[in-house]
Structures are given as structure tokens and as C-alpha cells.
Amino acid sequence: MATSEPAVPVQIAHSGLAEEVVVLEWLVDDGQPVEVGSPLVVIESEKTQLEIEAPASGRLEILVPASDMEVPVGTTIAQIHP
């Protein structure tokens, strides 16, 4: 019996810039295919804006929508299903 591959988490990495960030804009729509290394989302800390790239190829499932709410660093904001 074949097992499906687990989803790959997309997390906000600890960069030392801040403890919380804001998810400003998703560059890919929920459910769309993505390629490893492609830009997924723009986040903002108090000092800078950064793009997070896809850690794997597959279909994107957004878990945290873009909003003005602060999200703790380390949070899984999406998953990529192979």
C-alpha cells in the first residue's frame, strides 16, 4: 500500500530581525502549483520587507491569509503538497 508524501511546511524563519511579522501579500493563489525557489509571499517586520520562497514544488495551501495581524516568527503559514 503506497503512502502519500507529507506536505512541506512554509515557515517564517528566525532571522533575528523581529519576533513577529505581518503577512503582507501572497504572490501565488491558494491551490495553485509552485516551483521550488519561486517567490510565494511578502512579509514585513518592523525594519524590512522580505519574500519567502517555496521550499518545494507542488500545490500551495495557504494557512495564514494576508492581513494586518502580527504572526510569531516560526509559524507555519502555508503547506506545499507534492
Note the pLDDT tens digit of each residue in 43-80: 998 888 999 999 999 999 999 999 988 999 999 999 99
Look at the chain and report how many structural domains it folds into: 1
d(C-alpha 36, C-alpha 34), whole Å: 7
d(C-alpha 65, C-alpha 75), whole Å: 13
Residue 1 counted as domain residue: no
Residue 33 counted as domain residue: yes
Please list, residue by residue across 13-36, b when 16 or more beta carbons sit within 10 angstroms of its beta carbon and e when fewer do: eeeeebeebbbeebebeeeeebee
State the pTM of this model.
0.87
CATH number of the domain within which 23 lies: 2.40.50.100
d(C-alpha 20, C-alpha 6), whole Å: 27
Which residues span the domain enclosing 35? 8-81
Residue 73 counted as domain residue: yes
pLDDT interval class at 29 (50, 70, 90): very high
Least confident of 24-28, 32-36, 68-72: 68-72
In the structure grid, which three cell numbers stand for residue 38, read together? 519561486
